[in-house]
Structure 1
């Protein structure tokens, strides 16, 4: 992320348990979302963030999780 910097145009967000490419909703795995958003704010503040989830039905609980952390609105 730091290397790409402002060239980073969009980021696909998903949670995981660190084992596989799970495409879980934020809050379902072990991703430290505060750290991710802090790094994005510093390195790529204009990047578009896209929830890339296995099931579209996970968007309703995933997005509010990020909002509850104060990371989205």
Structure 2
């Protein structure tokens, strides 16, 4: 096996090897992913605001339950 060329001298890391990847997914989720992408493209700012609000509510609820325990 041929050694890959070193990119940072004698002690440096070697050049990264090229890797081919194939997307693996279920055929049933393909339509759902496309719908989610299109919804985020048209309503991305609103989705971000909703997620931030849900995250804050989850944190406050967890603090509340910890304080009650």
TM tier, shorter chain?
Answer: under 0.3
Higher helix share: 2
Query: TM-score with structure 2 length normalisation?
Result: 0.22
Larger Rg: 2
Higher strand share: 1
